[in-house]
Amino acid sequence: MATVNPISDITPASAPPGAGLLVLLAAMPPEQLESVLAHLVASFPEEDLLVATPDENAADSYPDLRIVPAPATKSSWELTAADFVNAYHLAGKNEARAILMLGPESSSLGSPALRDLANAVITSSTDLAIPCYDLPPHAALVNSAILYPLSRALFASRARFPMAIDLGLSLRMAERLASAAQRFTPPSQGEVFLWPINEAAVAGYAIDEFDVGPRVLPQPEDPNLNTIFPMVTGSLFADIDAKAAFWQRPRLLPPARYSTPPAPSTEAARDIAPMIEAFRLAYDNLQEIWRLVLPPKSLLGLKRLSLANAAAFHMPESLWARIVFDFLLAYRLRTINRGHLLGALIPLYLAWVASHINITASGTSPARHIEAVAAAFEADKPYLVSRWRWPDRFNP
């Protein structure tokens, strides 16, 4: 929903000398703040650096740095619309040339990662510098199953983490994100997410991805999948709906970043029995909803999957891509209440996770399987475009 324009009150800097780089930090404990500031000082000349933090005592504790107060936001685990408004406002007020946004737990990033993300938007034509995190094989699976494949198929981006919590922004990228944030209610009414890759793609801005090594990802205060999954997936579905005129046109995918296959996973196998059981229970109880969303061929595939034993539990990549596309279409058409719709997708996602763990346990590297999933989304994009334009062609 539209709100009062948060950008219109921004005026150019009136007093302080300009800073080359504005670094906007999330709230963090003092020891983490000290670590981040040490990395920043090691990476950039102090005279070109301006740090914005919600920590009220930071300026007194680090007198050699230019530190200004940043508004605190409610989110403890992800960048929100309010963060992008704050970043652009502070950049305009302090005449910064570029912005580095660092999310919670950013002390786990090293100096080279900070330099890469910031220098890309300071010294080159890059508008959005996005990190590629080195995470455990079975971490961030909502990203691997849905966010990355959809972003790649529809917005022609290979960036592995569309919902990254550390970003380098040019001023025009920050302005676009701040303007996009105006569509939403104030953050006091709930966490609102933006999708920087999608915004950059629509604007024709340059995107670059950087390997930043391991990263500790913060966890939501309420890590319940039944809460987080609909929030994140629904936000992406809504953004895709809003940008349909863009992604329906053909796009060329950039070349792959990796020339050699990643190593197989050495992570211990997880117990997939509870996931399979949740899927089978849903198969018995959610048929009425699934029939409103999924075509007969997909329902047949789910029936076969429900009968498979744990060792042979494998969801075909093409089936998963078609399921996500059909749920996206149902979200657009409001086939059923959107909350109920996204809730009905959760057990199907758990089935995908169980299948992914089985596949990687058999020797396939997690990265290779995720790339195969993304390729299946790309291959099935014509189906999505066709049904988006002519939704009545298929009647379940």
Give per-residue pLDDT as tens, 217-272. 998 887 899 999 999 999 999 999 999 999 999 989 988 876 555 666 656 567 89
Find the mean pLDDT for residues 100-124: 95
- Euclidean distance between the first and the last CA atom of the chain, given in angstroms as a whole number: 32
Confidence band for 210, pLDDT divided at 50, 70 and 90: very high
Contact 19, 50 (CB under 8 A): yes
Find the mean pLDDT for residues 157-165: 96
Residue 84, SS3? helix
Residue 365, Cβ density class (10 Å: 0-12 exposed, 13-18 middle, ≥19 buried): middle
Residue type, 313: F
Domains recognised in the chain with CATH numbers: 21-247 (3.90.550.10), 273-393 (no CATH)
Check residue 395 and give its pLDDT. 52
Any idea how long the chain is?
396
DSSP 310: G
Contact 238, 192 (CB under 8 A): no
What are the tokens at 358? 């089985």
Find the mean pLDDT for residues 345-357: 98
Check residue 186 and give its pLDDT. 58
Check residue 265 and give its pLDDT. 61
Check residue 2 and give its pLDDT. 34
Find the mean pLDDT for residues 178-204: 83
Pairing of strands 21-25, 66-69: unpaired
CA distances from 23 to 57, 85, 111, 286, 389 (A): 17, 14, 13, 47, 43
Contact 351, 282 (CB under 8 A): no
Contact 236, 142 (CB under 8 A): no
